[in-house]
Amino acid sequence: MPNDISLAARQRFRQQLQNVEYADEIIDSLNEYLNRFIPFSANFSSSNWSTIYEYETNNDSTTMVTYSIIGKESNLIQAGFKRTAIFYTENNTTQGINLLHSDYTNKTQNEFDVRMISNSNKIILQVKGASNNLTKWNGSIQIEKLNG
């Protein structure tokens, strides 16, 4: 879900900065920056892997993905993760350059887990709850990409 600055906000900004020559360029740069951060949330009742987010890569690209995510089953059963991985896409096939780097992990149950995998030209973020009880997940992904 993109975080684009609306047309109305763009017009208000342009009015406020009538004498700024590059108002549209500033807004376009802000939009590009905002679209690097993608919020997500989901609820799953499963201790199996569940896909919470998919990102389609461009051919001949390198993509670095960093995500922060928290999961909560109850007040006593919760987890938080922050991970970074780099993927490259060549011939419409996405592969990881190296192993997932863990910036942070804290979980009250060992069964909680998260992972990033690739399939065809997609990077897929998956979560696993501690049990089959309802687990709420919330987080965001930051995407840096280089094409060509």
DSSP 90: E
* Tens-place pLDDT, residues 24-56: 787 788 877 777 788 999 999 999 999 999 999
Report how far residue 28's alpha carbon sits from residue 48's, in angstroms, rounded to the nearest whole number: 40
5-20 pLDDT, tens digit per residue, is 777 877 777 777 766 6
**pLDDT of residue 146 exceeding 80:** yes
pTM here is 0.75
Contact by Cβ (8 Å): 11, 27? no
Best CA proximity match to 84, nearest among 36, 147, 144:
144
The b/e string for 120-143 (b: 16+ C-beta within 10 A; e otherwise) is ebebbbbbbbbeeeebebebebeb
pLDDT of residue 18: 67
Residues 6+ apart with CB under 8 A from 34: 2, 3, 4, 5
